[in-house]
Each structure stands twice: as C-alpha cells, then as structure tokens.
C-alpha cells in the first residue's frame, strides 16, 4: 500500500492527464486515422470490405492509394454534395431558431430567484431524461394531417383543410428545436448568470434604454455563450440522421442518410469514408473560426493591457 501511495503521489498528476489522453487516442484518433486511410483505398468483397491502403506481399511493398473516392464525390455531386449543402442549410437555420428561442429563456432563468432557477434548470434538462426517439414520435403525432394541431384548428374553424406540416423543412426544424434547445440554453445561462447587475443598473441610471443596454452590454458579454451553444447545436445537427428520416421527405436528404446508405446498404466503405471526411471538414470550419475569434480577442486584450501599461 505504501508503494502504491508513493506512486500515486509522484505520478498522480500525470495519470490524470495521460489516462483521458490515452482514451482519446484509442477511441477517437485511431478510428479517425482508419477512416481517413480507408477513404484513399478501393472497395472489395469480404471482411473488411475494402483493400488495405498499404502492406507487404509476395512482390514486396504495395499500396492501393488513389483519389477515386473523392473524384466520385465531385463527379456525382448531385448525389453527394447536394445533401452536404442541404445539411449545412438545415443545421444553420436550426441553430438560428434554437438561438431565438433559447436566448430569452436563458435570460429569464438567469434573472430568476435561486429557488425558481433550480426548478427551471430541471425543466430544461427534463427532455434529456426521455428517449429522443419517443419525443420525435410525439412530435409526429402533433404535426400529422390528422394530428392534434390540425384537429384543433379544424374544430375551431380556423382552417378548412389540414395543413401539411410533416415531411417539410418546418417539421425538421421543429424536431431540431425539440432535440437541441437545451444544448443552446445551458451555455447561454452559464454566461448570463455571471453578468454583473451593477453594469446594467449603471447603464439604466445613465439614461440608456433597455434596447441600448442589451445592444451595448448584454449582447457583447454573452457572445461566448452564443458561440458555444451554436457549436453544440450546429455540429450534431449537420450529421443528424433520425430527425430527417422520420420527419423529412425525399427532398430533405441530409448527409447523415447518405453516409448510412453507403456504409450499410451499398457496403462501399471507401466512398462512405470519403463522405465522412468531407463531413469532418465541414464541421471543422466553425470550430476553427471560433478558435480564431478567441485568439484574436485574446491578442486584442493583451494589446489593450500593454497600451494601458505604457500610458501608466
């Protein structure tokens, strides 16, 4: 026991870092490398359903490296790139809709009393306690032509015929909102709860209207929460498979459906891996942009601090 205690004392900090790092390497980095190299090889029958990228045979070293899979994505862009752009479009507007709904809700929770705040946070997290598939089927029951919404509107005499809401962009947006709204609320709440009330009171005492207070104080200080929440919603929304499959129509094909079809129906793993790398590149763009904005802000803050120090 003494030896174990001594080992943990000397190497405990390293273990705290290296164990999660090893986990990421084994279950994230290595599969990503495997997908990347599969995208540069060719399909074949058998297990695995793709030729090895390189190896040693009877004739010595060999390689199956080629760019045909990426060429197919360009050649059949209507089948591959169109779903990718459709995914980006639906994910972008889904993120925007979630932001519009989440911002006032997060502000309301942050400005509530501590006892009410705890209850409201539980209500925000409550959807995560149920199956997302169950929530989607409940939404289908609301949006169907013979569903609850159309039935109520018909009984009230507000419409003469059922409104088509299923298998449209609207149904997908509602599914995205139902699924990802908490992921937008929580980062916004985490930023808003740290806002200094004295800043808001001082601005009001100086004659600023509520719109001016929001535009000059609240909105700039909550930008980190907006960026974090938008990334948490946009990234999984781009590769979403279940929501478009259940709520969307044939014209709402997203990249997640194409990826599933190539992997499991066509069994063309090299092309599917190329699509996966394309999806990864799409998702990396907002992350790189967010990191660039953070680095730029840090550099500006350092420059301002240096300017103040020089002036002093």
Is residue 120 predicted with pLDDT exceeding 70? yes
Helices 68-75 and 269-311 meet at what angle, rounded to 10? Answer: 90
CA 96 and chain centroid, separation: 12
Residue 73 is predicted with a pLDDT of 86
Mean pLDDT of the 82-96 span: 91
pLDDT per position as a tens digit, 124-163: 988 888 888 888 999 998 998 888 899 998 998 888 888 8
For the chain, what is the mean pLDDT?
84
CB 30 within 8 A of CB 41: no
d(Cα 98, Cα 184) in Å, to the nearest integer? Answer: 7
Please list the residues that pair with 50 across neighbouring strands: 43
What are 231's two structure tokens?
Answer: 């990334």
DSSP state, residue 39? T
Please list the residues that pair with 59 across neighbouring strands: none
pLDDT per position as a tens digit, 198-231: 888 888 888 888 888 888 888 888 998 999 999 9
Residue 190 is predicted with a pLDDT of 93
Query: pTM value?
Result: 0.82
**Quick check: helix, strand or coil at residue 159?**
coil
Cβ-proximal residues to 44 (8 Å cutoff; 6+ apart), any chain? 50, 51
What are 126's two structure tokens?
Answer: 């409550």
**Quick check: helix, strand or coil at residue 156?**
coil
d(Cα 234, Cα 93) in Å, to the nearest integer? Answer: 9
CATH code of the region 77-298: 1.10.3720.10
What are 168's two structure tokens?
Answer: 């449209």
Q: What size, in residues, is the chain?
A: 312
d(Cα 128, Cα 246) in Å, to the nearest integer? Answer: 19
pLDDT per position as a tens digit, 165-188: 888 889 999 999 999 999 999 999
d(Cα 32, Cα 50) in Å, to the nearest integer? Answer: 16
Is residue 307 predicted with pLDDT exceeding 70? no
């Amino acid at each position: 026991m003494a030896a174990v205690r001594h080992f943990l004392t000397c190497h405990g900090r390293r273990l705290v870092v290296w164990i999660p790092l090893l986990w990421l390497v084994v279950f994230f980095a290595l599969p990503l490398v495997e997908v990347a190299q599969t995208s540069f090889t060719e399909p074949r029958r058998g297990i695995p359903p793709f030729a090895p990228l390189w190896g040693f045979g009877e004739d010595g070293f060999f390689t199956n490296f080629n760019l045909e899979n990426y060429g197919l994505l360009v050649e059949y862009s209507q089948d591959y790139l169109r779903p990718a752009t459709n995914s980006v479009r639906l994910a972008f507007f889904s993120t925007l809709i979630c932001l519009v709904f989440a911002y006032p809700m997060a502000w309301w929770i942050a400005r509530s009393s501590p006892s009410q705040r705890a209850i409201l946070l539980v209500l925000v997290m409550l959807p995560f306690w149920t199956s997302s598939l169950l929530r989607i089927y409940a939404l289908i029951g609301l949006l169907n032509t013979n569903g609850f919404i159309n039935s109520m509107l018909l009984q009230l005499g507000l419409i003469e015929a059922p409104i088509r809401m299923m298998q449209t962009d609207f149904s997908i947006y509602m599914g995205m909102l139902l699924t990802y709204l908490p992921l937008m609320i929580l980062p916004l709440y985490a930023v808003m709860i740290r806002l200094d009330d004295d800043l808001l009171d001082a601005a009001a005492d100086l004659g600023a209207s509520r719109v001016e207070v929001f535009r000059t104080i609240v909105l700039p200080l909550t930008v980190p929460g907006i960026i974090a929440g938008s990334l948490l919603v946009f990234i999984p929304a781009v590769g979403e498979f279940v929501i478009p499959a259940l709520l969307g129509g044939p014209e709402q094909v997203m990249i997640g459906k194409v990826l599933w079809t190539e992997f499991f129906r066509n069994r063309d793993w090299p092309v599917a891996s190329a699509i996966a790398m394309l999806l990864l590149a799409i998702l990396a763009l907002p992350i790189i942009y967010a990191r660039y904005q953070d680095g730029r802000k840090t550099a500006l803050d350092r420059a301002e601090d240096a300017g103040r120090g020089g002036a002093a």
